[in-house]
Structure 1
Amino acid sequence: MTLSFSTTLCFIDDPKERRLKMIAGAFYIAKTKVNSTAQGDDAYFICGEKQTIGVADGVGGWAKLGVDPGEYARQLMINSLKAILVEPEGKINLKRVLNQAFLDTNAKGSSTACIINLKDHCLHVVNVGDSGFMLIRKRGGIYKSEIQQRSFNHPFQLGKLNADVLDSVQQFKVDVEAGDILIVGTDGLFDNMFENQIKDVAEKSTEEGIDPAQVARAVAESAYQISLDKNATTPFMLASSKSNRHRSGGKVDDITVIVAHIVHD
């Protein structure tokens, strides 16, 4: 079962400008067969009350040691949500949230993570590894978060036994305005689709007036189809060529997509 938490949306107070809020929805496709009982390696949450969303991707290499790679990711997201819900109203510190979630997560394994909070017309972000986000701006252009990895297909990760220190976590802010579209995802999305491909699908779906969850589904299904195409040109293929690993086509992986529309409250 995919983690998804949703509560009533809150107001974002800004005395100088009209308030903004995120309206978010998600879609998840596990790389395992449809009839499998496995939950996959990804996890996510959406907390409208605190205007915060997050994704995590359990590192698959743990499966070779008999460990469910998704268990750490699921616990990390549950504990992130718990930490967010006790943060002071309007004063959410995401690095403190992620640190508390890290301390409270005791499962074996490790995971990437990206958590985003909307406050004062800014996205406040903590990110570690190759999960991340892109922002499609209403006025044109795309902003995309940077990937953190030690080498090709070896992302920074959090975990108790084999992980990077919390000091390596990226923490930054990005300005937003009403009409922007936020796309958050695991590497199953960003390894298979280029920014313009994601933008085209998201904008077309948004123009058709469907809700964010259905936009997320359209993007995730596009990434899934590409992941199965052995002849597709993908970001993962190009990155592998630069590292002399030369992997062709799409990359079969768990795919999590969260789409958030930034709107006036």
Structure 2
Amino acid sequence: MMSGSSYIAKDSDLGSQGEDSHFICEEMHTIGVADGVGGWQMRGIDAGIYARQLMNNSLLATLTQAHPHNQIDPMKVLDEAFAKTQAAGSSTACIITLHEDNMLHAVNMGDSGFMVIRQGAAIYRSPIQLHSFNFPYQLGNGANYGKPLQAQVMKVAVEAGDVIVAGTDGLFDNLTENQISETAVTGIERGLHPEDVAWQVAQRAYDVSMDKKAMTPFTQDSKMAGKWYIGGKRDDITVIVSCLLHA
């Protein structure tokens, strides 16, 4: 599994690190994304710190599990990372690993997630967890926040040649599954490295996020919730693209 990533912070022009974070552990075929919940800004807290600690601790937990050459359990990774993340704030999280039997094992809390693309079309999209419109489940310290055991656990059969696109809601709120698949597949067919493909997907999501007249998945969700949000959704955008290589 060969992976690459791209990250665009919504306030990148101001030098902000943003509120998203991610990690790639190619050695153990494991990736993860997290989106710090921006509402903490009203309390003067940078939620990106929580997300970055959570993903750093997830990488460390992945490397710990890797010895002696164990297959990674994403729930154990998330549980250990959560226990060691003590920063103020809260975050969504999605961790995905590929086992030797060509099964993706994943755990997801909130509205980050992933999709599997096969032969040019999306064959799987991970479900999301929302309390209500634009209010995702989230991990955090304190009684009002979720714990890893509340996260959804998934297993998905995959094949050589499949493409996995993981991301935060800055991706999935702005681009449809078809738009993501189209952009990713075009890049793969051109022979681009997954990092370059991730950049193209992230850039397309960013362009839509800045379009004040765009009709997006977030637009449709807002309509179903009795609201009417028109235009792209400005947000931090994280994209990881992973290609399952032929033997």
Structure 2: distance between partners of 1:92 and 1:140: 28
Give the match's secondary structure for 1:184. strand
Q: Does 1:28 align with 2:4?
A: no
- The 5-angstrom pairing of residues 78-157 of structure 1 reads 78-87=56-65, 88=67, 89-119=69-99, 120-138=101-119, 140-157=121-138
The residue identity in structure 1 corresponding to 2:154 is F
Q: Does 1:72 align with 2:54?
A: no
Shift of 1:139: 7.6
Determine which of 137, 162, 179 is the counterpart of 1:180: 162
Q: List runs of 5+ in structure 2 lacking aligned partners.
A: none
**Corresponding residue for residue 160 of structure 1:** 141
- Deviation digits for residues 173-229 of structure 1 (CA, Å, limit 9, x no counterpart): 101101111000000000000000111111111111110000000000000000011
Q: 1:139 to 1:27 in 2, by over 3 A?
A: closer
Structure 1: distance between partners of 2:87 and 2:110: 19
Higher helix share: 2
Q: 1:148 to 1:158 in 2, by over 3 A?
A: same
TM-score where L is the length of structure 2: 0.96
Structure 2: distance between partners of 1:210 and 1:165: 38
Structure 2: distance between partners of 1:79 and 1:62: 21
Structure 2: distance between partners of 1:229 and 1:241: 18
- The 5-angstrom pairing of residues 185-264 of structure 1 reads 185-264=167-246
Shift of 1:166: 2.3
Q: 1:230 to 1:126 in 2, by over 3 A?
A: same
- Deviation digits for residues 65-116 of structure 1 (CA, Å, limit 9, x no counterpart): 0000100000000001111111142332211111110010000000000000
Structure 1: distance between partners of 2:129 and 2:217: 15
Shift of 1:163: 1.2
User: Are the counterparts in 1 of residues 122 and 178 from structure 2 also a CA contact under 8 Å?
Assistant: no
Identity %: 53
Give the match's secondary structure for 1:203. helix
Q: 1:139 to 1:213 in 2, by over 3 A?
A: closer
Structure 2: distance between partners of 1:83 and 1:139: 34
Shift of 1:33: 3.9
Structure 2: distance between partners of 1:242 and 1:213: 35
Structure 2: distance between partners of 1:78 and 1:165: 18
Q: 1:141 to 1:165 in 2, by over 3 A?
A: closer
CA RMSD of aligned residues (A): 1.2
User: Are the counterparts in 1 of residues 121 and 181 from structure 2 also a CA contact under 8 Å?
Assistant: no
The residue identity in structure 1 corresponding to 2:71 is K
User: Are the counterparts in 1 of residues 29 and 98 from structure 2 also a CA contact under 8 Å?
Assistant: yes
Give the match's secondary structure for 1:238. helix
Give the match's secondary structure for 2:139. coil
Q: List runs of 5+ in structure 1 lacking aligned partners.
A: 1-21
* Count of aligned pairs between the two proteins: 243
Shift of 1:140: 4.8
The residue identity in structure 2 corresponding to 1:250 is G
